[in-house]
Structure 1
Amino acid sequence: MGVGLRARPPPTPGPAESPSPRRVRQQSASAAASNASQQLVFVQLCTALWFTPYFFATDAEDTFESYGIYKSRHRFILRGPHSRLKALLEGDFILDHCRNLTVMESLRKSPKAAADGQTMAKEEVPSQGPNEETSLLSLPDDDLLSVLEYLSTPDLLSCRAVCHRLRDVALRPELWRRRSFNFGRRRPRSFDGSDCFDFGPRDLPTRSLEAAVLRVAPCASSLSMWFAAHSDALGTLAATTRCAAAELILVVGNDPARMEAAKLVIRNQAALGTLRTLNVSVDSLIAIDALADLLAEAFSTQGLTRLVVWVDRKVEWPKGSEPAPLIPASIKEVALTNVDPRFVHCVLRSHAATLQAVMLRWDCHGVAPLLAAIPGLRHLDCPVMEDLPLVAKCASLRSLNLTVKECHDEASFQAAAAFLRAATHLEELQLDGYSLSSVPVEQGLLTALASSGRDALRKLGFSFFTELDDRLEMELASALPGLPALEWLVLPRSVFRRVQAAINPGSLPRLRGLSIPEWTYEAVCAHASMHEPDVCRVLASYTHFLLVVRNRLCGEQRRCEHCAKGCHGVPWPTGEFLVGFYTHEAPGKEAVDGLSWGSPCETWMKV
């Protein structure tokens, strides 16, 4: 079974002299001793990390995967704390500080016991090892840090009460700069939070822990906060904390006081000097004047590389509300939703020298000339605009997400078609909400896209579809042969025969993968869909091919013949939204990214 993580090949040995028989025996004995030691290290690793916070385990049974260790042909892959991958060649030490494994478990159980040198019971941890010293305080600082980084935030804070040395080491920036914290009852928009510590219910212990983090933590990867009712204490601490974050995510309720508190938090983090990403979401908008002040503070923050502003409804801004004066360019990515065009224009003008990715929603009046003037623009996500053809002059543009579902007038539609005919340098295109309800097939956007026989477009995708209707199916099938460089194709849930017939090496010679996130063909089970004749033909037509579908199963009570047979040699994965198949080699990062518009497919099987 492929797991989607390809092992690097072992280093090629260089030329060497033929060893003598005696030397061979010595090397064999040394290798045997080394292998025995490494096996013991591996057992210790599994034992200690099984009890370690943040340790990830899969649902597979009777394999290395059941202990969170992925064993590939040449290496072990370990998901460590904070989602860091540690990977070493098979035969190396699995973890650099393997002698500290018993200390890690002892520390997790009791920081005081670990400092005093107490360990787990003999039956829990093997007594032999490269180093049997188990006193936490006997470790040098570098080794001590490697142990403490496995602790959860509450455990790390508790170490400060053990002794002076742990108090100081526990506040080293190395232990905090990869940690993220969510101060709120819900997770903000655009927040992954996979490595984030959620503080839980808003009770007294939770508030005390929040206060401790904001008072003593030296830094953090991300701080996310929800400013709503009963958040006065949080606002005061957040506005004065010395915890310098690289990312600040704020969700602000409809209250001028909350918006003022959020503005002070932004100002404080900007002064600390490490803020690079700012994400502000405003709900239930009524306090327009306060919002204008909040966004003016966000837009005037210097040193940002990414800015996200989301407002839950379109508003008319008060006259005279303008952002702060122009600041030095630094922002590379910006996403603005329901933001007044005056603010949008200010951001695009101020950061034109550094911008690489722009996402705009709502009123884009007068934006196209500013976009065309951005020399390094590579990705654009925007609705259809009447002056969109101006953006085709931007030679650096490589990726476009074009929203056409609200395009009701013919002028805007024709502007989009003109842009697609002119932007021959595009490598990726996604159409959101595209339909042919108001124009003939020969005037459609896909027809315009393929009319130049472009050699640059490598990825084409669709989203927000219910299904492909007959007219759109006809346009797509006729357009695909005009895209000879296409490598990745992301389609809606239904794929009709005419489109399937166009997917062949003759029409698409460079095609490497197909993704249909909502598709299960005519069968209820995705596994059964994989055995449909048309699917098998596509997989067999290409030397190397990848296919991603929705992971929908027939269920235990109605097992299809393919699920019952277990034809892939492994249990069908559960708990995953998507499942991918590969014909020869497991996909690398480029392939996984190429077949995803949102979250990537993480589960792969060989067919």
Structure 2
Amino acid sequence: MILVAGLMPRMKDYVRRESDVSGILNQPLWSNMDVERRQDLIAQSHDEMAFWTLPDDFLLAVLGHLPTRELFTARLVCRRFRDLCLHRQLWKTRSLANDLFGSVSVDFGLRRAVLSLAPCLRRLSLSPGHCIRLAPFVPSVSQLNIDLAFYGEGQEITCDNAQDFINLVQRLSSLGGLTELGFCLALENPNSLLVQALLKTIYTISGLQSLFIGGEIPLAADISVDVKVEPSLKKINYRSLGDDACERVPFIGSLLKAHASTLEEVIVELHDVPLSPLQGSKKLRSLTIFPHEELPLLVDCPNLSTIEIVYSDRWVYPAGTIEFFRRAVSLRSVTFTCPVRDSLAPLVALAGSKAAKRVWMLDIFATSPDVITLLGISLYKFPSLRRLTFQGKVTDDFLRAVDPAATPNLTSLALDVCHDGSPCAHSWLHGPAIQDLFARNPRLGLHIENWYGKYGRDCSCRWCSWGCHSKLVEPKGGFSADYI
């Protein structure tokens, strides 16, 4: 009862805030309420409004502010609250997570209470060990993640816990509403009957829209050709966490074929993956992949605007990748790593394409000094460029090439690694090349992602000695910052 007594003032405080005219009108739960009814409620004096006479939709808006544990405490207030606190409106946006990034972890008891009573959840993150204990209680869930934040030992799906994971996914699939699924695999026998059952369970989830799979061992198993599903996936993300990138993963090819008509974003870190199922796709918007010979098949995808060529240890790009850049029409955001041999080929092909004049984001990693020279010369071919990231040695000649006459829309320049010939980040930032850059481009923001060279205590230049970019230990005048 002490908890309840402490909760009531807090509830009434929420009510007072929600009773404000602007607050009420902005509540989505009130959007369908009769206008005259809202005006009557607003017109009432706050002091005279009886807390218990508030309509359900108003109380739901108030209860939505409470943390999960206090929401359960509020059920003890009265019979009306007992039912309202389990309303779907309150739970369809709530999440339970094990990870330490974003969502607050909860103890096992509260987690079990939520899963036993809540009618639904937006996102649920479990460790593999929790699958077997909590599977019978899990309600309808939109997003299921198996501890993706850690990628550590004990967080993957193994042969020991795969059956528990299968049971959990089958239960959620039968309840309906599961749209996002993510997990990591560490399977000793990737072609076993258990693995085949796991893949079939995933493959046959009705209405699944987003799938993340991380793996260290290649999946040799595949889906039987007689298994038919309705296409629904919008995003596939297969991240290779080991040495399986060069191996063939038939299951990914089956997913691409089955969901080609609905896929919008494809992230596949595999060298050997068929792209023919995506040929001519009208939905495909974004592709992340290793250099690939079949990329020209996707030139005619009208909405493919984002491409990322993942770093590869191959010395040269396949001819098909260069041809794709040369023939590209719809690209707007391009990221690639220049190969060791013929390092200029991707940039030359892209700069000469029809897409160049519409590209607004360009991210390039290069080790050859010739690339930065070519980039400076080619900037005028990218008049729509707003964000440019270059990871490699930067020259003063390149900085002089960054000019509104060539790139009138450029507002962000991000540089990674060290400047060629400058021993210190501070002296370079205060040097004439950077000062001239800012003078010519008053709207430009410069971001130094990483600096591998002398810095701070390791440098004796006048800027480092002065400490103009040192950490502020004792902020003064109410101003606080990490670095200036």
Structure 2 length normalisation: TM-score? 0.76
Q: Give me the whole-angstrom Cα distance separating, in 2, the residues matched to 1:516 and 1:383.
A: 23
Structure 2: gaps (5+ residues): 1-8, 27-43, 148-154, 458-463
Q: Give me the whole-angstrom Cα distance separating, in 1, the residues matched to 2:162 and 2:441.
A: 56
Give the corresponding residue for 1:430: 335
Give the corresponding residue for 2:105: 198
1:246 aligns with 2:142: yes
Give the corresponding residue for 2:303: 396
1:272 aligns with 2:179: no
User: Which of 343, 357, 364 is the aligned partner of 1:455?
Assistant: 357
User: Which of 199, 212, 217 is the aligned partner of 1:313?
Assistant: 217
Structure 1: gaps (5+ residues): 1-46, 53-79, 81-85, 87-91, 99-128, 188-192, 200-205, 580-607
Identity %: 22
The answer to whether the 8 A contact 2:471-2:482 is kept is no
Counterpart of 1:238 in 2: which secondary structure?
helix
Give the corresponding residue for 1:381: 288
1:333 aligns with 2:240: no
Return 260-269 or 482-491, whichever deviates more. Answer: 482-491
Q: In structure 1, give the amino acid aligned to 2:299.
A: A
Q: In structure 2, give the amino acid aligned to 1:249.
A: N
Q: In structure 2, give the amino acid aligned to 1:507.
A: A
Q: Give me the whole-angstrom Cα distance separating, in 1, the residues matched to 2:263 and 2:237.
A: 11
Q: Give me the whole-angstrom Cα distance separating, in 1, the residues matched to 2:178 and 2:65.
A: 25
Q: Give me the whole-angstrom Cα distance separating, in 2, the residues matched to 1:378 and 1:181.
A: 31
Counterpart of 2:414 in 1: which secondary structure?
strand
**1:340-351 paired onto structure 2 within 5 Å:** 341-351=249-259
CA deviation vs aligned residue, 1:179-222 (integer Å, no higher than 9, x gap) = 1111x4x46xxxxx52x2312xxxxxx22212101100111110
Deviation at 1:518, TM superposition (A): 6.6
The answer to whether the 8 A contact 2:212-2:238 is kept is yes
Counterpart of 1:348 in 2: which secondary structure?
helix
CA RMSD of aligned residues (A): 3.9
Deviation at 1:240, TM superposition (A): 4.5
CA deviation vs aligned residue, 1:470-514 (integer Å, no higher than 9, x gap) = 233223223323323322212227532122122111222332322
User: Which of 352, 356, 359 is the aligned partner of 2:267?
Assistant: 359
Q: Give me the whole-angstrom Cα distance separating, in 2, the residues matched to 1:285 and 1:95.
A: 56
**1:137-152 paired onto structure 2 within 5 Å:** 137=52, 139-152=54-67
Counterpart of 2:238 in 1: which secondary structure?
strand
CA deviation vs aligned residue, 1:393-440 (integer Å, no higher than 9, x gap) = 3233111011242323x4x44332221111132111011x434x322x
Q: Give me the whole-angstrom Cα distance separating, in 1, the residues matched to 2:480 and 2:417.
A: 18
Q: Which has the higher contact order (CA 8 A, sep 6+)?
A: 1
Q: Give me the whole-angstrom Cα distance separating, in 2, the residues matched to 1:198 and 1:353.
A: 38
Q: Give me the whole-angstrom Cα distance separating, in 2, the residues matched to 1:511 and 1:198.
A: 42
Give the corresponding residue for 1:157: 72
Structure 1 length normalisation: TM-score? 0.62
**1:555-570 paired onto structure 2 within 5 Å:** 560-561=467-468
Counterpart of 1:400 in 2: which secondary structure?
strand
Change (3 A) 1:170 1:369: same
The answer to whether the 8 A contact 1:280-1:310 is kept is yes
Give the corresponding residue for 2:162: 259
Counterpart of 1:161 in 2: which secondary structure?
coil
Q: Give me the whole-angstrom Cα distance separating, in 2, the residues matched to 1:550 and 1:570.
A: 28
Deviation at 1:162, TM superposition (A): 3.2
The answer to whether the 8 A contact 2:351-2:378 is kept is yes
Change (3 A) 1:517 1:160: farther
Corresponding pairs, count: 427
The answer to whether the 8 A contact 1:173-1:219 is kept is yes
Q: Give me the whole-angstrom Cα distance separating, in 2, the residues matched to 1:134 and 1:529.
A: 65
Counterpart of 1:237 in 2: which secondary structure?
helix
